[in-house]
Structures are given as C-alpha cells and as structure tokens.
Amino acid sequence: MVQVIILGIVSFFVDISTEMVYPVLPVFLTVALNANLTILGTIEGIAESIASILKVFSGYISDKFQKRKPLAIFGYGFSWFGKIFFIIATGWQYVFTGRLLDRIGKGIRTAPRDALIADYSHQEKRGFAYGIHRAMDTLGAFLGVALVLLIISRGSFDFSNAAHYKKIFALSIIPAVIGWLLLFTIKDKPIISKQPAKMKISFKYLPVKLKMFLVFTFLFALGNSSNQFILLKIQKETGSLIIMLVAYLIFNLVYAVGSIPCGKISDIIGQKYVLITGYLVYGVVYWLLAIGGSIPFYMIVSGLYGFYMALTEGVEKSLVSQLAPLELRGSLLGLHATLVGFGLLPASIITGFLWQTFSPQVAFGFGGTLGFLAAIGLFCIL
C-alpha cells in the first residue's frame, strides 16, 4: 500500500498543477484569445481522443515488458512540458498544442499507473486502494483551484488580458515538476513471470460481462462531454469567474472526500450498484444544468457532480481490473480508458454544436438522457 500512497502523492502535486490551468482555460481561450465554442469543443475532443488511443497501447507495453514505471515517468513529464505552450500562446493553436501534449502524457501514463495500483493492492481492497488514489489526486485538484481563486480574487486580474493568465500557467509548472520527480521513487512489481504477455485482447474473446460493460461505458461517454462546458455554463449564467471557481472548488472537495468511502462501499456491496447510482446521479446533474438556476443552485449541482465522480471514477477501474485476466490487466485498463476517450471527441463536438446551434438546455439534456440509459444498461448486464 506504500507504493499506492506514493502514486497518490504524485497525482496530488500533478493535479495541483492541472487544476490551476484547467478551470481558467475556457475563459482564456474564449475571452483573451477570442476563440468560439466550437473550437473549444474540438480542441477538448481531439486532445482527449488522440490521447486515449495511447492508453490501450501503453497498457499493453507495460504488460508485455512488465515495466510500468518508465511509461508513467514519461507520461507525467508531458504534464509540465505542455504548459509551456500556454505561456507562449498568441492564438488557439498554441492552446491546442499544449492540451494535446498534456493529454498525450495522460494517455501514456494512465493505464500503467492504474495497473501499478492494482499490482500493489489486494483484490478484496482494490476499491479502497483506487479510492485512496482518487482522494489524493482530487485533494490536489482542490488546492489547485483554491490557489487560482486566491490569485484572481485579489482584484487586479483582467480577464481579457492574456498576460494575467500566463502568470498562472507559469506557476502551475512548479508542482507538476515536483510530482514528476517523486515518481522516480516508485518500484515496478513483476506481474506473473519473466515471459512477456501475449496480445490477446480481441473484443470477441473478452469475458462477456467485461464486453457488455465496455459497450455501456462507451454509450455513457457519448454524452459525457468535457467538464469545461459545465464551467462555462456556470460562468455565463452567474457572470462571474470567481463564482465558477468556487463551484469547481466544491466539486473537487466532494470528489476528494467521497472517493475513499465510495471505494470501500464498492468492495462491500459490489461495484455494480455503486456505478449504477453514479450514472443516475450524472443524469440528474446534467438535467439540472439544462434547467439552470441561482448561484446556490449551481453550488449544490457542483457538489452532486463531485459525488458522481466519487461514485464512478475509481470504481470503474476496480471493476475492470477484477474482470480482466491478470496478464492483460494493464492492456484492458487502457482499453477501457481508450473507449471513454473515444466517446469524448464526439461528445464534446456534439455538445458544442448543440449549445451553439440550439441552446445549452438541449446540450445538457442530451448528456443527461444518455446517463440514464447507461444506468439502465448496467443494471441489465452486470
């Protein structure tokens, strides 16, 4: 469990860095650089989806050579390197490059890191192990947002001035480098033997339950667009970037506090019921966003969204790691992440299109409906 905690500390620092950038990026892009919502959706969708292609391959490579650590180090290195392009940005193309590099790094590191967590945890406590990691990861996110909120609330921040955002981007590199350096203390654990794993992840040969789960995960992902649309909705409805950041702070706080209990509950009652609850909560959140409301309303909705993340993020990985054959654990964790990412490209493009062509109500209603359908599907197949 020590290795799991170290991985959590790594994610803690890296997520401080990520969340110093992520919540202000849509405003930086649309206000300071004058990009439109379609560009925002396209950047997020392409960056996430291209990165997702790498997840299944990095998982496979980590299985084949039984070396997870080098891939994790390489991937986390992109987390700080990509932010350099935000600092020098004069147009949306730089933001696209920075996001692409950041997400490619995430694509390389995610499956090997998640497999390391599974390697160093007992099956009966795996939900708890993933819960610990998610809690530390999200605590870092909470502090990252809090730092940005502190900087912006000082009163001299000009939302139309790109230079003010770039100071935040420069500061964000520091915790990313700290987390990256800590990763060098992690040790790889031999998986099954000295023989490399064979690539046998043809969809038709996977366990039936795992196949069906992946299908409904992809269906759910088609309605699960980038979180930046939620942030933008709150910012536009309330007219305040500070209120949007407070809402995002609440989201991360609930996410961090709820991850460990939700992981432990999934170990006790089974991942199925926790995931179904999570997908239902997601559907409710998106329909509430479609309806809209006051500032307190958005604070409550943000907390509910954090609760959905606590119910699903680590629990999904725990379920995949248990359904997957041991020798293909990294590969199938990568495949799951890849399917989720592939869904994000059309999801973000569709959301941006529906928002711009019709209304945010139509865009969020579409996502909420798919969340309810995915919950029904999970209930039937697991």
Domain annotation covers residue 96: yes
Does any domain span residue 179? yes
Range of the domain at 47: 2-191+203-381
Residue 332 lies in a domain: yes
Residue 256 is assigned to a structural domain of this protein: yes
Evaluate whether residue 169 is within a structural domain: yes
In a domain, 197, yes or no: no
Q: Model-level pTM?
A: 0.74
Please enumerate in sequence order all residues whose Cβ is within 8 A of that of 25, keeping only pairs 6 or more positions apart, or say none.
86, 95, 99, 228
* Contact indicator for 25, 332 with CB cutoff of 8 Å: no
Distance of CA 10 to the CA centre of its chain: 16
Helix, strand, or coil (residue 294):
coil
Measure the N-to-C terminal CA separation of the chain; round to a whole number of Å: 29
Inside any domain, residue 198 = no
Structure tokens at 97: 């490059």
CATH code, domain carrying 375: 1.20.1250.20
pLDDT per residue rounded down to tens, the chain (382 residues): 788 899 999 999 999 999 899 888 888 988 889 888 778 878 877 887 777 778 778 888 888 888 889 999 999 998 889 999 999 999 999 999 999 999 889 889 988 898 888 888 887 787 788 888 888 988 898 899 899 888 888 778 887 888 999 999 999 999 999 999 999 998 887 655 444 445 455 666 677 888 888 888 888 888 888 787 898 899 889 988 889 889 988 998 898 889 889 888 988 888 889 999 999 999 999 999 999 889 999 999 999 999 999 998 878 888 888 777 777 777 787 778 777 777 777 888 888 889 988 999 999 999 999 999 989 988 888 7
| CB-CB contact of 315 with 266 (8 Å) | yes
- 3-class SS at 76? helix
Element at 151 (helix H, strand E): helix 126-152
Helix (H) or strand (E) holding 254: helix 241-269
Number of helices and strands (H, E) in the chain? 15, 0
Q: What's the structural domain count of the chain?
A: 1
Q: Is residue 158 part of a domain?
A: yes
